[in-house]
Chains A and B, each alone.
Chain A
Amino acid sequence: MARIALVIGAIAAIVYPIPLQLQGTTYYQTVGFLVLVNAMLGVGWNVIGGWAGQFDFGPQVFFAVGAYTSALLYVKLGVDAWLGLPVAVAAAALICAVLTYPLTRLRGHYFAISTVAIWMIAQPIGATWEFIGAAQGLFIPVKPRTGVVASALSLQFSGPTKAMGYYYAALVLFAFTLALMAVVERSKLGYYFRAIRDDQEAAEGIGIDSRLYKVIARSITAAVFAAAGVLYAFWALSVFPEQVLELNWSTLPIMATVVGGIGRLWGPVLGAVILIPISQIMSTTLGTGPLAGRGIDLIVYGLIIIVIAAFRPTGLLSLPWSRWFRPGPATA
């Protein structure tokens, strides 16, 4: 049952942009791109938040580290995005490990605020550091590419195929992340993370170094955020502090994870598929026209979120889907 759903979902995700491209609309492909980016971030955040059970409100710092690293490599040294990607991911994971190890002395809410603290300190640094362009940030010039292959290899799409190109790039990165996290979930690492979440003392009792594995969990999250940051930088063609350090880069993935089902591999994916299109459609329908700029779209969006939270506080994947969709009469 689950396998059939997976195959259908994969085919739908691959085919999705083609009729749109033939029709000449790029808007819904950009929505798809945003869904995939946020789903990927959610899958990454699920490692520290859902499995290791640590409140992390500051992963956007590593989104920024990824975006800046790849942009710097490209602008200053001419290194292409795909080559910059592993460097950016490694840099983010390393910086995260160094910063997070001392923070793991703190627990619960104290740890949560310490992740906010790193973000609050990163913001003025990003806004004043001349080497990374200070408040103006960095612009990523587009080099003219001929052919699909050259565009894909350099992660620079332009013209009418821009939206489709980045959609598929996001799909590749998302699928890779999801597959990798599926492996982590079933590995020894995944069990250690959940053991720490469920009972840190007991986990330490059986010899799990809780501080070390919290650092590993957060570094995995940071790596995923950095990879998404690289993709976003080349899509937006610029990197500046207010954009890549925005709070939305953590709240949206966290919300997607909570809606879908926290701690479940597919939870964030379901959440992103539901939340991102709603917010996009709200802003293009209710956010335009005579009432534009009056926040009507966000009022409705807020209401929807409140209703979902009040209706199903444990997430939508916790609903008895298999009982509803299992063929044959349900015998309880």
Chain B
Amino acid sequence: MTELAQAVVNGLQMGFLYALVAVGLTIIWGLMEMINFAHGEFLMLGMFGAWWLGAAFGLEPLLAIVPIALVMYAFGVLVYRHLMRRVQGGDPFTQIFATIGLLFLLQNAVVAGFTSDYRFVNDSLLVRLGGAKLALLGLTFAMPLLLAAGLALLLFLALYLLIERTEFGLALQATSEDRDAARLVGIRPQRMFAVAWGLGAALVAVAGAILVNFFSVYPQVGLQFTVLAYAIVALGGFGSILGTLLAALLVGVIQSVTVVYLPPAFKDAFVFASYLLIGLVRPQGLSGRF
């Protein structure tokens, strides 16, 4: 019983990190309805950025978040302006095609620059906290994961307020609802799409900078997270920020509880089995807006 409760607690902490990985996709895919197969590669760039800034300049990954977010925001805007804006005019499947090209390009540019070796961050604040634990009600909370989860939650709240409570957020939502009507009231849809790509790329790269404390860094690390992120966004009901958080927590818990009873190979399979189950009972997702 304690084992199960502990698994739930661990899963929840992981869930906050998954939420941060997925929320960038919530904006690009859920809200703006554009497909990005290179989402995991944006994450990988964030991870490599944090590792490299640490290895080359001794910068703490948690502080590296700021430059990484800025650079990746600009990168996201660039990707939209020069690639996705043109692709938008074609079949939706062309977005898949274009972003698979982007995936090949980014992944192998990093292979060319840094090789496919596994890298580890072993001198960061969270890694040094490694053994520290917080015991509460017979459950243990590993300090690094707890701090990272807290940080993720904080970022998440800020984003929620930005999207749901500011004029800018409303303009973004208006563009996703009806592009032409948005244009009539003076919103420039192209700019909104560009900002959405910038925000999405920056958020997932920040998630990467936090994840380097827990996962090894290599150029092919992205795909597993891309697949999970798509499931989370769909479970959360497309475009709902709180839905994404809820779904990510659920995914974290399903994974860690599955591992208690079954071989680790099945942990993602159970996430997707739950997706099918929930989807068939509630086809609009956990908190569908549409």
Contact indicator B105/A306 (Cβ below 8 Å): yes
Does B272 belong to the interface (CB within 8 Å)?
yes
Pick from A4-12, A87-95, A110-118, A231-239 the stretch touching chain B. Answer: A110-118
Does A262 belong to the interface (CB within 8 Å)?
yes
Interface bits A290-332 vs B (CB < 8 Å: 1, else 0)? 0101111111011111101111111100000000000000000
Contact indicator B98/A124 (Cβ below 8 Å): no
Q: Compute how far the CA of A109 lies from the CA of B276 in the bound complex, rounded to whole angstroms.
A: 13
Contact indicator A303/B101 (Cβ below 8 Å): yes
- Count how many chain A residues have C-beta atoms less than 8 Å from C-beta atoms of the other chain: 51
CB within 8 Å of B: which A211-262 residues: 247, 251, 254-255, 257-259, 262
Contact indicator B93/A295 (Cβ below 8 Å): no
Contact indicator A313/B100 (Cβ below 8 Å): no
Does B269 belong to the interface (CB within 8 Å)?
yes
Contact indicator A299/B93 (Cβ below 8 Å): no
CB within 8 Å of A: which B93-148 residues: 93-94, 96-98, 100-109, 111-112, 115-116
The number of residue pairs between A and B whose CB atoms lie closer than 8 Å in the complex comes to 156
Contact indicator A258/B280 (Cβ below 8 Å): no
Does B67 belong to the interface (CB within 8 Å)?
no
Does A121 belong to the interface (CB within 8 Å)?
yes
Does B234 belong to the interface (CB within 8 Å)?
yes
Given A110-B234, A299-B108, A309-B98, 16 other A-B contacts at CB below 8 A?
A: A49-B93, A107-B283, A109-B238, A113-B230, A114-B275, A128-B265, A293-B111, A295-B107, A295-B109, A301-B101, A301-B104, A302-B102, A305-B97, A310-B87, A310-B98, A313-B90
> Which B residues are closer than 8 A to A by beta carbons?
29, 82-83, 86-94, 96-98, 100-109, 111-112, 115-116, 219, 223, 227, 230-231, 234, 238, 263, 265-266, 268-269, 271-273, 275-276, 279-280, 283, 285
List 27 A-B residue pairs with CB atoms under 8 Å apart, sorted by A's residue number: A103-B276, A106-B279, A106-B280, A106-B283, A114-B279, A116-B230, A116-B231, A116-B272, A117-B272, A118-B272, A120-B227, A121-B273, A124-B266, A125-B269, A127-B265, A128-B265, A255-B96, A258-B94, A294-B112, A296-B108, A297-B108, A298-B105, A302-B104, A305-B101, A309-B94, A313-B88, A315-B90
